[in-house]
Structure 1
Amino acid sequence: MYISGGSLVDLMVDALPKANLPYDRVRMFLCDERVVPYSDELSNCGQYFRKVIPKVEGLTVQHFATIDPSLPIESCAAAYEKTLVDTFGGSDRNPMSLKFNLLLLGIGCDGHTCSLFPRSEALRV
């Protein structure tokens, strides 16, 4: 499951306890985590750890593919990419060929999603 942070966290607090998911077969990946400690209010993963896990029987920290916020940002991104590729495999080990069963993404009032903001330099290719 590929999830975003922000307002989606609070929706997941209500929805996941009712979902009755087979958590032995579920892995959560964050599409827009911030490189801050999980104790920081800006950490989306930290928000899930604090708000969602206590409400969902069978869901633990181990269900989340996490970043190592102590690493330099380039190393952190490379390690997370490796986690994605290692989890989903594939013969070519190409991160662009990864397929998720479910994506739950929020959209901000300014139209942003996954920390991609309209008219941002990050969108210029």
Structure 2
Amino acid sequence: MARAAIRAALADTDDPAGRDTAELLTAELVANAVRHTPGGSRIELVVQLLPKRCQVEVHDADPEPPGALAPHAPEPEPGPWQEHGRGLLLIRALSSECGHHLTAWGKAVWFSLAVRD
């Protein structure tokens, strides 16, 4: 559902690569929220279309910040056979900006991505 929401939100942009990247990064954030938030908890997707960029936030009930998105966090190095641990690396590498902030009921993890109109 999150991938479809991003595709629909960016349908009018003339930037197929930007749409694909936004879809990938959104899927990573939502997967992390589902994996690290207690079952039955609310997860929200917020998409803001701004001039020349979009910002995507995923809100969840777990207030624990994702360590790999802290400003001076070391780059984690997942092993070649490790099944998890690359999502936040992708977000850091492919987004223009990314981060997190506390919300009234947990946290929001976000990324910003340049897109052509």
TM-score normalised over the length of structure 2: 0.27
TM-score normalised over the length of structure 1: 0.26
More helix by share: 1
More strand by share: 2
